[in-house]
Structure 1
């Protein structure tokens, strides 16, 4: 379909999927920003782009709504997996996808209507090493480290799951407010400790195997749900001894289930939905060139 798109969401975190071979324009940062604009374009939390791969069954590039490129996205991977199945680019229910943040394996759970209603993704291994994010702190691991942001003194755990995350916990029984997210999110995303910026999760343990998080995504801002953020927060909670695996991660958009093994290899399972398929209008495309 010329200049076509596939729209899906994972717990309210919505992405457009596009195949460059079907586009009559280049996905430049300017074009990505225009398409993702919720008032002047289609509106989206990002664009997933089918890419060639020599290492996996499929390749994937992930672009944030500000035009920057992300290494990995858990919700994006589930949406991409459903897109591949729904558009018959694969008949397989288990396949590999190469991202900048590493190789992952997707397993589709097909419902009675033939739709991949949920997807399990083997997300790779979490690491707390500063060089993996990167983070400029000269420590062996980014576990419960002090940081100042938005006038507050906090402690964070830095996790890379193929992309960077800064997880800040409050004690059980307390809560994070949206106002705190809107203040701390951008301050931590752009903190001097993170030269390439970072994703941010404000977390609270709510049970032995359960946490709640608010999410600020690098290049996107406040987000209702995030797969990689869930993996990072679950990893941090296990590392700190606040929760045990498997971890149920609750977010404003819904719930994901994360298994963290002894080596911090991560497996994520969650729902995914298709919303629409369509084409960009010729006049809109002319404005992108």
Structure 2
């Protein structure tokens, strides 16, 4: 008999993609899905011993939409939604001929999102506009522990002194902090501390936003379960909403992240629309030891 130590490794085909630097490992699960997904996310995301990425994204069949997304952060925790990942899925399913639709519905743990594909001259997807839905602003819905119905620039104690936080959910919880200069933020200290602050029952993504003009801002993000990433689509949406709520920005603005730019519009009907690029980097096979 063959011992478990000598079993052939499981071979998992993947595609590495990124949305303005927010890089994930995409696995086509339309026919089958790997098991032990949290452990797989940790293994594959390792930038020294694995493929390297902010996590894994599974492209799955859906009974209620065109496709379904499941995603796991690089610490193994399952995420509810990611704007950058949803754009990459739209590019993947079109460019890999899983659909010829130019408007795709995507099932996520935060509901069904609608993705509009913007084609480039080579016939592939150049950018994607995602209807991110309406923001949740009540403390209970975010969720965040607050003495008021909404947490808008409420002082929160930290080891570096109090900071003013605006809480917004875009399917996952975000804490937005406005700063004069991003370079002056003690990011590596405040990011993880605020992510796990007691005000968040389920932890939170933390954004630091520097407003340049009513139509432009800079953002740096510390993502729940991942750490700093070069971009966060839901974080950019939450930051835009917070900037409008506090009177700092117009309802349409460009947000500059470390990985690139996103155009966010909080439309009059209440939905937040996000437009940005998606890119395929390489394909490969991951040999997972059984």
Same fold flag (TM > 0.5): yes
Any conservation in 1 of the 2:81–2:172 contact (CA below 8 Å)? Answer: yes
Compared CA separation, residues 150 and 115, structure 1 to 2 (3 A): farther
1:147-179 alpha-carbon deviations (Å, 9 max, x no partner): 012332111100001111000002xxx202376
Compared CA separation, residues 262 and 141, structure 1 to 2 (3 A): farther
Whole-angstrom CA distance in 2 between matches of 1:256 and 1:94: 19
Alignment match, 1:138: 147
Whole-angstrom CA distance in 2 between matches of 1:237 and 1:264: 15
Q: TM-score, normalised by structure 2?
A: 0.92
Alignment match, 2:270: 264
Q: Given the alignment, which residue of 119, 126, 129 partners 1:110?
A: 119
1:188-219 alpha-carbon deviations (Å, 9 max, x no partner): 10000101100000111100111111110001
State yes or no: 1:249 paired with 2:255: yes
State yes or no: 1:119 paired with 2:128: yes
Alignment match, 1:13: 22
Any conservation in 1 of the 2:62–2:68 contact (CA below 8 Å)? Answer: yes
Gapped regions of structure 2 (runs ≥ 5): 1-10
Q: TM-score, normalised by structure 1?
A: 0.93
Compared CA separation, residues 243 and 21, structure 1 to 2 (3 A): closer
Alignment match, 1:51: 60
1:212-261 alpha-carbon deviations (Å, 9 max, x no partner): 11110001101111111110100100011100011111111111000102
Any conservation in 2 of the 1:3–1:24 contact (CA below 8 Å)? Answer: no
1:125 alignment partner, SS class: coil
1:23-48 alpha-carbon deviations (Å, 9 max, x no partner): 68414312210110000100011111
Alignment match, 1:217: 223
Q: Using the TM superposition, give the Cα deviation of residue 21 of structure 1 relative to its aligned residue in structure 2, in angstroms.
A: 5.5
State yes or no: 1:183 paired with 2:151: no
Gapped regions of structure 1 (runs ≥ 5): none
> What's the C-alpha RMSD, in Å, of the aligned pairs?
1.6
Q: Using the TM superposition, give the Cα deviation of residue 142 of structure 1 relative to its aligned residue in structure 2, in angstroms.
A: 1.5
Matched ranges for 1:74-85 at <5 A: 74-85=83-94
Any conservation in 1 of the 2:20–2:230 contact (CA below 8 Å)? Answer: yes
Alignment match, 1:233: 239
Matched positions, count: 280
